[in-house]
Amino acid sequence: MKKALLALAIGGFGIGMTEFVIMGILPEVAGALEISIPQAGHFISAYALGVVVGAPLLTAFGNKMPAHRVLLLLMIWFTIFNTLSAFANSYTWLLISRFLSGLPHGAFFGIGAVVAGKLAKPGKDAQAIAIMFTGLTVANVIGVPLGTWLGQNFYWGVSFLAVGVVGILAILSIKFWMPEFASSNSSGFKKDVQVLKKPELWLIILLTTIGTGGFFAWYSYIALLITDVAGWDDTIVSYAMILAGLGMVAGNFLGAKLAELFSPIKAVIIALVLMVIALISNSFLAYDQIGVLVMTFIIPVIALCLATPIQMAVINSAKGSEMLGSSLNQSAFNMGNASGAYFAGLPIAYGYGIVSAQYVGAVMAAIGILLGISVLLIRRQRSVELQMSNS
């Protein structure tokens, strides 16, 4: 079991590395391809779009195949197109390869979360899912800084070659360490999509999109908070990002503990309440050089407390179509990334300052709390109706 979970974590490391390393080498990419920085930003959007599109489509494509085989194929796809990205010599080539690189992201984490739960001992599924997400969090501590350094000191394409090497390691580890699963008992995609008729599932997916968007409203403008608001030199930003990555690692395992102590959806609500408090506090602490660094660690701790519980909540809500529901939630995470950055940018564009993004994030997290409470109310109503029908 440990080796199989490690295989999932290695795949998560590669995915986390490729998703975020582009942000650190954007100037080098823009210079090499002779495009503007805003144009280079399209490569980030293209990857995110690939995640949103690929999660349900690739999960549907592999819903009749054994899970270990689907994971292997997804990682082969990931490795090929990330490696091709390293050799892109035009805007169009890199844009297409980034989109194609993003396609397996959501399906891998979505299917991987279900597989991790199956591999776990009874009552330990939260810890197993957290181990898979460890790869993503550790990537922010080691993989992204290393990939950024390689891209800045050699050539930007070397960053994606490094991702390709991680992809090969993931392929080999899945091939040799992942146990074989029986073919899925799915009744087919048409039957699986029936789960989408559940209001509870859509509420959780909406919760993921809006609630986690509160974190990305902060994370998208972290560099400006540290330099323009707190007054640190630009050189501190890379160290602050490592600090944020360490917070993500800690929060990932703390979230698993919360999911074990409470129900997954209650753990999500608790984390979002803490997120609201942290973001509002940061609107004051961001002006202090020490305070901003303390919150750079604390906010990611709280944010990653959401990852495992919310994934478990979706899986529990999508019984019979767990992989589809789990993959859709990964699309929701990326929509949260985009929506958080967009909505937080609006008051900044109107001249309200960088700190205004904290209030936008707090409002988004608060909406997530209301959605989580709505899920609990739906479940309570369903329980009452079930008791009445049995009596």
Walk along the chain (391 residues) and give the pLDDT tens digit of each residue.
788 889 999 999 999 899 878 877 877 888 898 888 667 778 887 888 888 888 888 887 777 788 888 899 999 999 999 999 999 999 999 999 999 999 999 889 888 888 888 887 777 777 888 888 888 888 888 888 888 888 888 888 999 999 999 999 999 999 999 887 766 555 555 666 666 778 888 899 999 999 998 998 888 788 788 888 898 887 787 788 889 889 998 998 899 889 888 888 999 999 999 999 999 999 999 999 999 999 999 999 999 999 889 988 888 887 777 777 778 888 888 888 778 888 888 888 888 888 998 999 999 999 999 999 999 998 888 888 777 777 6
d(C-alpha 119, C-alpha 179), whole Å: 9
Homologous superfamily assigned to 194-386: MFS general substrate transporter like domains (1.20.1250.20)
Do 1-182 and 194-386 agree at the fold level?
A: yes
Residue 85, both tokens:
């990205």
Residue 32, both tokens:
């090499």
Contact by Cβ (8 Å): 289, 232 = yes
Contact by Cβ (8 Å): 129, 116 = yes
Count Cβ atoms below 10 Å from residue 74 Cβ, excluding itself.
28
Count Cβ atoms below 10 Å from residue 66 Cβ, excluding itself.
15
**Which overall architecture, per CATH, does domain 1-182 show?**
Up-down Bundle (1.20)
d(C-alpha 254, C-alpha 110), whole Å: 20
Domain positions in the chain are 1-182, 194-386
d(C-alpha 338, C-alpha 217), whole Å: 9
Q: Coil, strand, or helix at residue 57? A: helix
d(C-alpha 331, C-alpha 110), whole Å: 9
d(C-alpha 171, C-alpha 177), whole Å: 10
Q: In sequence order, which residues have a C-beta less than 8 Å from that of residue 189 and are 6 or more positions away? A: 60, 63, 324
Q: Determine whether 43 is exposed, middle or buried from the number of CB atoms within 10 Å of its CB (0-12, 13-18, 19+).
A: buried
Residue with tokens 């995470």: 333
The reported pTM is 0.81
